[in-house]
Amino acid sequence: IRVQLKSDLKLVGLLSDENHRSIYNKNDFSYWTSEIGIEDMSTFVDGIGPHYSDLYEQGTTLKPSKLFNDARKHNLFIHPYTFRSDANLQPFATFDVMLEFYIDKLKVDGLFTDHPDKVVR
């Protein structure tokens, strides 16, 4: 796109989450979520679009994941998907608490949502 069409549009590399990976696609794309894969991707995209649950360490404390840190290290913007107010929000108590974590704590650069009316501040 950049070379052939001389486009200056920002490109986002969408990353499949683990659950959808096993349901829809039997291929192993774990390379693209490794640090070397993120570094490689940084040569042809401007950002990544992972599932939001891939951006924090699973467990009791909400800390940024290795994927999050690797993306920041390689100057990629982060645009997770898909924020839904009617989904299972665990480990977050409410949709607003979830948004606070991603927007205010992680400072994601944007997000995909099915509920823009609840996200715009």
Q: Give the pTM.
A: 0.86
**Which stretches of the chain are DSSP H helices?**
18-24, 35-41, 66-73, 95-99, 116-119
The amino acid sitting at 32 is W
Contact by Cβ (8 Å): 119, 90: no
Residue 120: the pLDDT is 85
pLDDT by position in tens, the chain (length 121): 778 888 889 999 999 866 555 555 566 778 899 999 999 999 999 999 999 999 999 886 789 999 999 999 999 999 999 999 999 898 999 999 999 999 999 999 999 999 999 998 6
Rounded Cα distance, 104 and 8, in Å:
29
Domain boundary assignment for the chain: 12-114
